[in-house]
Amino acid sequence: MSDSAATSPGAPALTSVQRRQVVWLTVGALVLYFAFRWMPTGTNLAHGDFRLEGDNVLEFCDPAAPQFLPVTTARSPVEFSVSPESVQPEQEVDFTFRLATSTGKPIAPVDLLISHTRKLHLMLVDPSLTDYQHIHPIPGEVPGEWHVSFAPKYAGTYRIFADFMPAVTARGLYASVDVDVPGTPQPLYHELSLVHRDGPYTFELSMDDGRVRARESTDLTLKIRHDDDAAVNLGEIMGSFAHLVAFDEKRSGFAHLHPQETDLESPPDLYEPELHFNITIPNSGRYVIWAQLILGDNELFIPFWFDVEP
């Protein structure tokens, strides 16, 4: 007769090794339980917090078919405000932005997903569309408040577009707010140009048909060349080889485009890099596309001016 049968009839007794395993498994389960309890519980917002009744409500963007988003002409399901609302040109100011649902619930970091390496992107542009800045506020102590500093280059009413992704919808959402910069704004740029030079680099944006027509999907190609046919060290910026943002003359909204070359492990040709994009713009008129990219150690913002035909 074995030991175990003698000590506990009907149920085999645990050896000391087994008892130790039970203790460790129990401790492990408790540690995991409390670890998960300590982790953030996630967003407190629901789908309904981002729903607005009625017509002309800003649609969530379909990232597979980037469109020009009519941010100011459609009703947004979020409240977006800023202070101060007026600043002097060329003066670096700390701004507080407040992001809330239409019913006033704060939208804090926990309520947003990371999109292109950040939770909140702000794209600001002056009335001449020549000062474009892309900045990332950091969350403040008060939920729904976000802080960032920037200096408007020129006078005029700056429009600030917010681009973010609520965790509960997992689709891009947008809002806008204005900051007044007293003085005479720069004139709207009038020379159309799809070629831009910066240092030893030439940037060329071409359209598949040689033009963009309203409501038609258009393929765009961005070519970058070095004057001496030297290597073009295209870096990664916010999880992409380039970010293109299009604005219309009235700044009614924007389109945010990313290259079809999404695999960061396989960059485009080192000497003749090309990136491909697709855009659909609903209305004719004057537009600028600002390309944001990294070449070597420099972050560059390159403008392309064009008209969208009816």
* Cα-based distances in Å from 196 to 125, 168, 258: 19, 41, 19
Looking at the Cβ atoms of 156 and 166, the one nearer to Cu ion is: 166
Residues 6+ apart with CB under 8 A from 174: 58, 61, 69, 71, 76, 161, 162, 163, 164, 253, 254
Minimal distance, residue 208 CB to Cu ion, in Å: 22
What are 240's two structure tokens? 């992409």
Residue 292 to residue 270: CA distance in whole angstroms: 18
Closest distance between Cu ion and the C-beta of residue 174, in Å? Answer: 13
- Minimum CB–partner distance for residue 279 and Cu ion (Å): 13
Strand partners, 67: 280
Least distance to Cu ion, CB of residue 304, Å: 16
Quote the least distance from Cβ 29 to Cu ion, whole Å: 43
Q: Which residue is nearest to Cu ion (CB)?
A: 243
Residue 76 DSSP code: P
Phi/psi for 170 (5° steps) reads 55, 30
Residue whose structure tokens are 């429009």: 159
Cα dist. 76→55, 58, 116, 159, 206 in Å? 11, 5, 22, 15, 33
Q: Which residues contact 81 (CB under 8 A, 6 or more apart)?
A: 97, 98, 177
> Which C-beta is closer to Cu ion: that of 116 or that of 213?
116
Shortest approach of Cu ion to residue 243 CB, angstroms? 3
Minimum separation from the CB atom of position 237 to Cu ion (A):
8
Both tokens of residue 211? Answer: 């033009």
* Among candidate residues 162, 193, 180, 203, the one with its CA nearest the CA of residue 76: 162
* Nearer of residues 117 and 298 to Cu ion, judged by Cβ: 117
Question: How far apart (Å, rounded) are the C-alpha atoms in residues 290 and 130?
Answer: 9
What is the binding site for Cu ion (CB under 5 A)? 116, 243
